[in-house]
Structure 1
Amino acid sequence: MSTAVRTEVSGEIGKRSLGQRLIGANTFWIALVLLALIAVFTVLAPNEFATVFTFQTLLIETSVLLVLSVGMTFVIITSGIDLSVGSVLIFAGMVCGKTMEALSGGNASTAGWGVITVGLVAALLAGTAWGLINGFLIAVAKIPPLIVTLGSMGAALGAAYLLNGGSDVRSVPATLNRTLGYGTSFGGVPNLVLVAAVITLIGAWLLHTTRFGRYTYAVGSNAEAARRAGIGVTAHLLKVYLLTGFLAGVAGFLSLAYYASTTITAHTNDNLNAIAATVMGGTSLFGGVGSVLGTVIGVFIPAVLKKGFNITHVQDFWQMIAVGAVLVAAVWFDQRRRRARNSR
């Protein structure tokens, strides 16, 4: 972007009041949707929904998905997609579980922090390896992200099944489950939530305040223009998919800590849930637009719907319909905004 263009854009933004900029932001409207849902369920079931226990449970249940969705935010902002994160999570959890089993002689339930640390490193390496594969095929081999990650989705899941003969690893250190899975600190805040919050804050800092984040937006807005401006688009895309794989490895470790099992069947739809949460949070499927704050809100919308419907005894099928409607509405709103911007 030239200096003249930047000056003109900055001038236009400066002329808009804070209220105008707030109302024009996707995050503002998505936040209103979330607040409206919370208000409705609070009115319908004040003694059950509006409780500390309910909100604590919501935070715990969304922690793993939030970590996945932070990585997905970077990918979608670059105008890419990653269908493999759920399978990579499962694979990383399986590698972690099998590593801890091997180091503890087949009974990891009594293992200490030394074994747990090695298991964590194994999970991170496993997730990052899949990220490297995806990034190389997409950025270097120039294969469309949809095809690459669709293939790695099946491959990672199949590899996870092969590692333990198609069954879950259920021998997990009790220390890990007790400390990270269900442990609390800082006034009763679950440790799992704290870890997810720290990762989310780091992701927000990386996206919104660093050169890496600026390059992510630039590549998603116009990859060719970014390349001509001196940005190494190939190297940057490789880093983005590496980051997504790394976070999927973190999520696999957190899931193992919480469930004390690899719970393969519980994560088969996590890839779609992460994409839906990211898009509902205002990140554009066309690239160049998005925020971590929006993704956080997008993660909580389906979680609040599910919890609210369960408390008010509404069938789960309605939750699926409601989430689908919100997702379609978010994409429609994004398309309208793009058309309005292009027509100026």
Structure 2
Amino acid sequence: MPNLSRRHLLRGAIGGGVLGAAGLLTVPQMVHAAEGLPLKVVNRTGRYKSDDIWVHVVGTELATGRMGHVKANGNFAAAALSDNHADGYARYGVRLSEMKSLPLAALSGRVYISMGKQLKFKVVGTGSGLGLQYPAGWVKTDPSYKILHDFMEFTNNDSGFYCNTTMVDMFGLPMYITLAGSKTRTIARYEEGARARIFAEMRKRPAFKKLVVGNLRVIAPGHGLDRGIFSSTYLDPYIDARWKQYETETLTVVANNITYRGTVEGSKLVFRQGGAVKASFARPSTRDVLFCDGTLAAPNDGVGGPIAAVLAAGLNRGVLQRPKQPIKNADLYYRAKRTNHYSRIIHENTVDGKAYGFAFDDVCSQASYIEDGSPKNVTLTLQPF
């Protein structure tokens, strides 16, 4: 069974954009019947009653490519322009107090949790039909910006259940997933008091403190960069040093169990195998590294994509100065002066050290991701904070 990392689960939906089915990896192998997989949400917040917690299940129906939401009875309802209320936004929330267990349809999507109020979605027309705009907690003008919320991501198909909690865009609520199937596993449970520590540690770092939005959330530095509250050159000294280093040294990268050797030629980091050029990368910007995009975009080509992921992970974790990559020893991560401290702080506050602090955090299995080919049920636990 292939590993469906977050890169394959959901790619897009940034900045309030329309999230569609493009890029989703589906597997024809039949292992279980996806329709009706029970989802349970457990309230252990200690401060919000279940009447005040809203659960929104949205996504793309895999059989048809239609976007929509899952109703309280587990039925999928395709998005319709009539879903938008007079204010222009749709509400798809179910009160947690009214939801003992929600049967999930076969779709790829998200489970949003919000406190006190329902989130606002928007049904819009696109070239390929109707699309759905998701809340974007990092966009100040988003109508859900002032609502405390967070989300998990999943793909539920006939090959299994694939899911993660993600901090790639933001961190709002401490919560973790338990997936029961061939075995029962829990991923990325936060330590006691983690949320307060994460907020406090971010505020202590001058370069990162503006990423803290009151007591609502911490937004990822890439989104902060786009908003003008995080330096667009923050990682440049580290990136420049690595490009200079590999003008005279060789960077060895093992990706998909294949070894490539890279050196900077002109302005590009060029990787060869047996003398033949297999991939090359222009010097990335700070934004490219934080978003794992731009010059570090990872096409699903089996060569350039896997190498790009290793490079992006090494640059975010501040370990690319080590000439053999990837670095599996997590104790070596985030020691560089210029590193992704947002990701570091979140990782340090989970019990198992797992988190999705950036898009390629699945390199060396550091991400808050689990899957099972024979799932029985999935539980999302909202932790005290």
TM range (shorter): under 0.3
Q: Which has the higher contact order (CA 8 A, sep 6+)?
A: 1
More strand by share: 2
More helix by share: 1
State the TM-score, normalized to the length of structure 2.
0.24
